[in-house]
Structure 1
Amino acid sequence: MSTVSACLTCGACCASYRVSFYWGEATGAPAGYVPSELTENFHPHLLCMQGTNQPQPRCVALQGEIGQQVGCRIYSNRPSPCRDFVAGDEGINPYCDKARARHGLAPLIPIKEVA
């Protein structure tokens, strides 16, 4: 059974939290992959995605309208916090539900795949 991720219509997490990560993930480092030009310094050893260290965060890489249709313009090169974030339809994640509520969206119900 194939399903489409709710993330493609949500994007609430990308506009709710600071996305901070080790500087070695950025392209300025030898093995980095996150575009450095989309990051800013946050701590001596941490960077964050531009736009996420604000009172009303919104990642610079987020495209589209939250709750309608969204996408990440650096999806294949996104930082580890984004890779590790579990969408509410993929499992239980209270941070997903909290971000969705912040943007007036209902919590997601985890999808159970049937073999």
Structure 2
Amino acid sequence: MPDCEGCGACCAYSWEWPALLGPGDGAGIPAYFIEDGRMRCDGDRCSALAGTLGEAVHCRVYADRPLVCREFTAGSDDCRELRRLFGFDSG
């Protein structure tokens, strides 16, 4: 199983993701992390992601993170694809 806290690829590949999925999604997230119905990004990286990709990262809004983040599964095909894209997974 991939180590999410040593990766961060899923939070850093697209400025369009993660999107908030309706009323109440992301409740509790400070407004400065939200923009146009999604998490605000710095480049392609979610602004709530702290740390260094591929080394040590953490989500500053983990307890209140959007549903799409909650449903993303470590070790899934999408996870493995993003890890390969960033060079974190050779398989």
TM-score after normalising by structure 2: 0.83
Change in Cα spacing, 1:48 to 1:107, as seen in structure 2 (3 Å) is: farther
Q: Secondary structure at the match of 1:21?
A: coil
* Structure 1 CA distance for aligned equivalents of residues 90 and 66 of structure 2: 24
Q: Looking at both structures, which has the greater relative contact order when contacts are Cα pairs under 8 Å and sequence separation is at least 6? A: 2
What is residue 88 of structure 2 aligned with on the other side? 105
**Are 1:11 and 2:1 counterparts?**
no
What is residue 49 of structure 1 aligned with on the other side? 39
**Are 1:61 and 2:58 counterparts?**
no
Q: Check whether the contact 1:9–1:67 (CA below 8 A) recurs between aligned residues.
A: yes
Structure 1 stretches of 4+ with a deviation exceeding 3 A read: none
What is residue 83 of structure 1 aligned with on the other side? 70
Q: Secondary structure at the match of 1:13?
A: helix
What is residue 29 of structure 1 aligned with on the other side? none
Unaligned runs of 5+ in 2: none
What is residue 35 of structure 2 aligned with on the other side? 40
**Are 1:73 and 2:51 counterparts?**
no
Q: How many residues align?
A: 88
**Are 1:22 and 2:17 counterparts?**
no
Q: Percent identity?
A: 34
The superposition leaves residues 1-59 of structure 1 with CA deviations (integer Å, 9 ceiling, x where unpaired) of: xx9x7111011100014101135224xxxxx2232221111xxxxx111117xxx5100
CA radius of gyration, larger in: 1
Q: Check whether the contact 2:13–2:45 (CA below 8 A) recurs between aligned residues.
A: yes
TM-score after normalising by structure 1: 0.67
